[in-house]
């Protein structure tokens, strides 16, 4: 067997372990990541393996941590900064936008000016954590030039993408869905680096394209099952990378199917889906049989009530409804 069953949480832990063992410049910093093992247990056991030099527990000061990570990267280290909830990444935006992603540009792209750092953070709702701990804010960061954004939907992709992110010489935002941490799947035993910027066709089809990433990718799979029972052949694509986008894969699929539903967990207005629709309209307009459909969270804070939370966030039914609307156009 060249593969092993792992949860996404354990796959991320494995990737961190392997990269720290491979490269002594890699270290992890963040709040409660040592003795406690991280808010969701992702870094459990790493303090015992790598000690306080490898696992740096920090005060609650996200902006300061981002500054330290950027400075460490400029000095040749490869920091992996864990931000406990994506909601708290709003506190690091100044350091990201005005410093980390700009240094290479401001120094003319010199090879000796590199900022190899990774920002890991759990995102999304579904656990009734309330308005300030349940957001999907990737749309905010998509507007920052020079910041790579990765969102795995499987344990294998989580390990392979994180390893690629750590080895990259530029800032990378690595998003982990809270509800996928315990999802299990086959993970290759070899290095299995996954290239940044390459989407994956999860289900091949010909009638409509379902385009998504992260947690909503599984919703698209479920919606595809329903549509297949209705006699349609949907194609499901996992973006995996939001920046850079695999525009060729997106265009190729939409040119084939002529219909597309883009799905995200973030809010609708100004979100990732809006950018995807622009890419589709610019590159595959004359292949479209119906207008692109967007499925996203309502433009509201995420409620604490599980019932209301489920109403605000996108679901499988929303994807099916949008798909049937497109197919009947």
Q: What span, in angstroms and rounded, lies between the C-alpha atoms of 163 and 159?
A: 6
Q: What span, in angstroms and rounded, lies between the C-alpha atoms of 218 and 220?
A: 5
Reduced 3-state DSSP string for 50-81 = HHHHHEEECCCCHHHHHHHHHHHHHCCCEEEE
Candidates 325, 296, 316; CA nearest to 124 is 296
Let me know: does 301 contact 129? Beta carbons within 8 Å.
no
Candidates 199, 201, 283; CA nearest to 244 is 199
Looking at 104, 133, 252, 259, which residue is catalytic? 133
153, exposed or middle or buried, with CB in 10 Å at 0-12, 13-18, 19+? buried
What would the two tokens of residue 2 be?
Answer: 């060249």
Concerning whether 143 is annotated as a catalytic residue, the answer is no
DSSP string, 234-299: EEEEE--EEES--HHHHHHHHHHHS-EEEEEEEESTTSHHHHHHHHHHHHHGGG-SS--EEEEE-S
What would the two tokens of residue 252 be?
Answer: 């190729």
Cβ-count burial 269-289 (b if 16+ within 10 Å, e if not): eebbbbbbbebbeebbeebbe
What would the two tokens of residue 35 be?
Answer: 């003795």
Side-chain half-sphere exposure of 311, counting CA atoms within 13 A: 8
The residues carrying an active-site annotation are 133
């Amino acid at each position: 067997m060249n593969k092993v069953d792992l949860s996404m949480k354990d796959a991320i832990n494995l990737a961190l372990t392997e990269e720290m063992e491979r490269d002594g410049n890699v270290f992890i910093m963040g709040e409660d990541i040592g003795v406690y093992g991280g808010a969701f247990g992702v870094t459990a056991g790493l303090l015992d393996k790598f000690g306080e030099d490898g696992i740096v527990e920090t005060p609650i000061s996200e902006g300061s941590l981002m500054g330290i990570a950027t400075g460490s990267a400029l000095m040749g280290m490869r920091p992996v900064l864990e931000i406990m909830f994506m909601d708290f990444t709003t506190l690091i935006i100044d350091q990201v936008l005005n410093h980390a992603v700009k240094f290479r540009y401001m120094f003319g792209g010199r090879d000796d000016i590199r900022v190899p750092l990774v920002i890991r953070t759990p995102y999304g709702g579904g656990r009734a954590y309330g308005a300030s701990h349940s957001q999907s804010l990737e749309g905010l960061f998509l507007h920052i030039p020079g910041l790579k954004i990765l969102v795995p939907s499987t344990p294998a992709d989580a390990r392979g993408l994180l390893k690629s992110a750590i080895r990259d010489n530029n800032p990378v935002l690595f998003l982990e869905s809270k509800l996928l941490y315990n999802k299990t799947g086959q993970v290759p035993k070899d290095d299995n680096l996954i290239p940044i910027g390459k989407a994956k066709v999860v289900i091949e089809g010909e009638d409509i394209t379902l385009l998504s990433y992260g947690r909503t990718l599984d919703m698209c799979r479920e919606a595809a099952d329903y549509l297949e029972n209705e006699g349609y052949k949907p194609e499901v694509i996992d973006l995996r990378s939001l920046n850079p986008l695999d525009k060729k894969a997106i265009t190729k699929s939409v040119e084939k199917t002529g219909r597309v539903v883009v799905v995200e967990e973030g809010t609708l207005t100004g979100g990732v889906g809006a950018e995807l629709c622009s890419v589709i309209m610019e590159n595959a307009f004359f292949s479209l049989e119906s207008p692109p459909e967007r499925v996203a969270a309502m433009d509201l804070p995420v409620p604490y009530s599980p019932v209301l939370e489920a109403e605000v966030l996108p679901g499988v039914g929303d994807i099916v409804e949008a798909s049937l609307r497109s197919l009947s156009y």
